[in-house]
Amino acid sequence: MAELSASILAADLLNLERDIGEAIRSGIKWIHLDVMDGHFVPNLTMGIPFGYAINKKFDVNIESHMMVDNPDMYLDKYCSFSKLVTIHYESPVQTIRVLKEIEKKGAMPGISINPKTPVSSIEPLLQSVKYVLVMTVEPGFSGQELIEEAALKIPHLNEYRKRNNLDFLIGIDGGIKKENISRIAALGPDIIVSASAIFSGNIEENINSLRSCIKERKNGQ
């Protein structure tokens, strides 16, 4: 069954400790840290101090999703508190070199692709990653509608992984909510990232509802 990852981009920043704690008590094992620099994407969000604070306070896996122009500038710090560090294929860096640096520094290397980027673009990199994050919205802001066509990359990645005997995880991020999560889970991702659907309203009820939809789909109900 796919694992839920909670993106704190939609959490109450004035009550971040409360919201993360509630998510973890409700069974969340992954916290998704959206890192934006205002250049690669048109938004500026959580940086290094957030990661350190979360890692110090909570026993949870952190995925740092680096939506930045130069992720290699910050790898020492992000790798120090992250289980997984994901960079974008579209960022202007030497991707394979940065992926190797992430692994060397002790984190799982991940690659993310925007909705318009085909899976074929990253196939030469898939031997070097432990995670592929499929974006189903244009990165930058929470609350967007899911782009259905982008989600169809997941079966392609599953087939490629099986055919080449690889073990990378597959994640999906963007516009996922109760109304579509069953359909998304049926495509076969390992990790489903959700923001607003978790942190809008009652966090425990939201997580239980999302997880129930995933489980029902897995059981064919």
Rounded distance between C-alpha atoms, residue 2 and residue 189, angstroms: 6
Residue 12 known to be catalytic: no
Is residue 55 within 8 A of residue 62, CB to CB? The reply is yes
Q: Is 83 helix (H, G, I), strand (E, B) or coil?
A: coil
In this structure, the dihedral spanned by the alpha carbons of residues 122, 126, 127 and 129, taken in order and rounded to 10 degrees, is: 120
CB count, 10 Å around CB of 54?
A: 20
Alpha-carbon gap, residue 24 to 31, rounded angstroms: 9
The span from the CA of 143 to the CA of 115, in Å, is 16
Q: What are the tokens at 55? A: 């890692």
| Active site (annotated) includes residue 173 | yes
Q: Which of 19, 37, 173, 190 is catalytic?
A: 173
CB 161 within 8 A of CB 123: no
Report, as residue numbers or ranges, the catalytic residues. Answer: 34, 173
